[in-house]
Amino acid sequence: MSDTILEIDSLSAGYGDFIAVDKVSMTVEKGQIVSLIGLNGAGKTTLINTVAGLQKPDGGTVRFKGEDITSLSADKIVAKGLSLVPQGGRCFNRMSVQDNLLMGGFTKSARKKLKETLGHVYELFPDLADMKKRPAGALSGGQRQMVAIGRALMARPDCLIFDEISLGLSPAVIKDIYRRIIKINEEEKTSVILIEQDTRRALNASDSFYVMLKGRVVLSGKSSGIDSETLKKAYFGI
Partner 1 sequence: MNKRLGKPVKVLDSLPLLIVCIAVVSSLYVVCFTGIASNNAMRYMIQIFLYITMGEMWNLLSGFTGMTSLGQQLYIGLAGYSVAVATTKLQHSLGVGLLLAVAVSVVVALLMSLLLFRMEGMYFSIATWVVAEAFEKLFLNWKYVEQGSGLTVRVVPYPKIFEICAFSLTVCVAAVAVVYILLRSRAGLGLTAMRDSITAASACGVNVFCHKLLVYVIAAAFTAVAAGVFFVNKGIVYPESGFGISWTVSMIFIVTIGGTGTVAGPIAGAVIYVFLQEFLAHYPGWSNIILGAVTILVIFFMPKGIMGTLQEKLGFEVFSAKRFSFAKHK
Which residues contact partner 1 (rule: CB under 8 A)?
52-54, 73-75, 78-79, 83-84, 86, 90-96, 98-99, 102-104, 106-107, 110, 131, 133-135, 137-138, 148, 151-152, 155
Q: Least distance (Å) from partner 1 to the CB of residue 132?
A: 8
- The length of the chain is 238
Widest CA span of the chain, in angstroms? 52
Which residue's CB is nearer to partner 1, number 9 or number 99? Answer: 99
Which residue's CB is nearer to partner 1, number 24 or number 153? Answer: 153
Q: Least distance (Å) from partner 1 to the CB of residue 226?
A: 31
DSSP character at residue 42: S
Which residue's CB is nearer to partner 1, number 109 or number 170? Answer: 109
What are the DSSP E strand ranges found in the chain? 4-15, 18-29, 33-38, 59-64, 67-68, 82-85, 159-163, 191-196, 208-213, 216-222
Handedness of CA 142, 145, 150, 153 (dihedral sign): negative
Q: Least distance (Å) from partner 1 to the CB of residue 220?
A: 26
Which residue's CB is nearer to partner 1, number 60 or number 157? Answer: 157
Q: Least distance (Å) from partner 1 to the CB of residue 90?
A: 4
What are the DSSP E strand ranges found in 81-230? 82-85, 159-163, 191-196, 208-213, 216-222
Which residue's CB is nearer to partner 1, number 192 or number 213? Answer: 192
Q: 3-state DSSP call for residue 130?
A: helix
Q: Least distance (Å) from partner 1 to the CB of residue 193?
A: 14
Which residue's CB is nearer to partner 1, number 134 or number 214? Answer: 134
Q: Which residues are CB-neighbours of 106 under 8 A, at least 6 positions away?
A: 78, 155
Report how far residue 186's alpha carbon sits from residue 150's, in angstroms, rounded to the nearest whole number.
Answer: 16
Q: Least distance (Å) from partner 1 to the CB of residue 101?
A: 10
